[in-house]
Amino acid sequence: MSRKSLGLSAILTLLIWLPLVVSAGTGFTLHSTNIPSSGQIPQKMAYTECGGHNQSPHLSWYGAPSATRSFVLTLFDPDAPGGGFWHWLVYNLPASTHALNNQRLPATAKTLANSYGFLGYGGPCPPPGQEHRYVFTLYALDRLGLHLPHNATPSTLFQALSHHVLAKTTLISHYAQPARP
C-alpha cells in the first residue's frame, strides 16, 4: 500500500472511528520527560533519514479509569502530505503499564507497521522548511487484548478498539528539520 493511500486511509479512519471515543476526564494524562514543555521533539527522536537516531520518546501516564484492562498508543502526523502519516501504533499494552522507555515495550505489546512500512517507532521527518504537529494518543480500553491479523492496518486497529475505549488522552508536539547550511 502506498504512503498516499495509507494517509487517506488514516484520515478516513479518524473521521469514522474517533467520534465514538469517550473523552477522558481531567485526570487521564499523558506526558513525556524528554519532549520539553515547548513541545519541540528533540533531533535524536527524528527519523534517521532526517539526521536523527529514531529514538522513541519516554512517555508516561496516570489517571486511567479503574476499569482499564489495556492501552493502545498511536503517533500521527496530521500535517503530512497525502492526508497524514502514522509514526507509531502500539496495542495490547497491559493496564499495569504506566510508561514506555525508548524502544522497550512490554512483552505482550504488539506494533503495527507504520507509514514508513516497518514495525515500531518511526520518528518525525517532515519536508525541509515545514514544521509538523505530532499527536500522541493513548486509549484506555475495557478489553484485555486486541486480536489483530499480522498485516492489520490502522483502520483495522481503530475498528477493533472502537467499542472498547473508556478514555483517551493526547500529547501534541511538533518538529521541523534543522536548517541546513
Q: What whole-number distance in Å separates Cα of residue 119 and Cα of residue 90?
A: 9
Residue-level pLDDT at 17: 41
∠ CA 170-175-179, rounded to 5°:
175
Query: Domain containing 137: what range?
Result: 3-176
**pLDDT tens for each residue of the chain, 181 residues long:** 444 445 545 544 444 344 334 444 559 999 999 998 789 999 999 999 999 999 999 999 999 999 999 999 999 999 998 889 999 999 999 999 999 986 679 999 999 999 999 999 999 999 988 999 999 999 999 999 899 998 999 999 999 999 999 999 999 999 998 776 6
As for how many domains the chain has, the answer is: 1
Measured between alpha carbons, how far is residue 98 from residues 64, 94, 138, 140 in Å? 9, 9, 11, 11
Q: What is the pTM of this model?
A: 0.86
Is position 181 within any domain?
A: no
Is position 86 within any domain?
A: yes
